[in-house]
Amino acid sequence: MDNVGQTFNRWTILSWPPVDQKVLCKCQCGTERLVFCPDVKSGKSKSCGCHQKEIATKHGLSGTGTRNSWRKMISRCFDSSSSSFHNYGGRGISVCRRWLKFENFVADMGLRPTGMTLDRINNEEDYSPTNCRWATRAEQARNRRTNKKITFNGVELCATDWSKRTGLHPTTITSRLKKGLPVSEVLAGGRYAR
């Protein structure tokens, strides 16, 4: 099939068939370049880079912490080659449609405060305005889905927080839990246990 003249995003194919899986393409801005054909057709390559430059110039936030947080969120959820994809997109976590546009993300979340990172409040739900916040690394560490929450006397905390309250080492708490001890015995010996 001859694909000369077909347009995919900002690329128009100028040569066919592919040579070493690359085709000559022309971007809407006029740049001509050899591009990996599967990337053009799948949309992985949308332009020569001019589109990203236009966006960066438009909002003036290129290279900022806010922009980096947004890009990493998008990558974790949609780029199967991302090292984090299996924990996000690979298990069904996505980004709300509104946040696919960076400007909307900034309008909802504001600029990333110093020392904060993007955190999903409920780790089983998607990235969205109602499920995200800027959080410290310590807050994020306590909000990991791998953390086991321990409830005692109506208070639910992770092992690290129970450690601070009881004086017991977090490893002591988790190893006692693994042994199947009741929570009252898990926290026994600490200053909080009763």
Residues 4/15, Cβ–Cβ less than 8 Å: yes
Q: Cα 63–64–69 angle (5° rounding)?
A: 100
How many H helices and E strands in the chain? 8, 8
Q: Are 23 and 13 in contact (CB under 8 A)?
A: yes
Confidence of residue 193 (pLDDT cuts 50, 70, 90): very low
pTM tops 0.75: no
| Token reading at 190 | 């600490």
Place of tokens 């912490």: 65
Q: CA separation (Å) from 57 to 12, 18, 66, 87?
A: 24, 34, 15, 32
**Mutual orientation of helices 170-178 and 159-166 as an angle, nearest 10°?**
120
Give the pLDDT of residue 25. 92
Banded model confidence at residue 98, pLDDT cuts 50, 70, 90: very high
Residue 131 clears pLDDT 90, i.e. is over it:
yes
Residue-wise pLDDT for 46-91, tens only, equals: 888 877 666 656 667 778 899 999 999 999 999 999 999 999 999 9
> What are the beta bridge partners of residue 51?
none
CB-based contacts of 189, cutoff 8 Å, min separation 6 = 166, 168
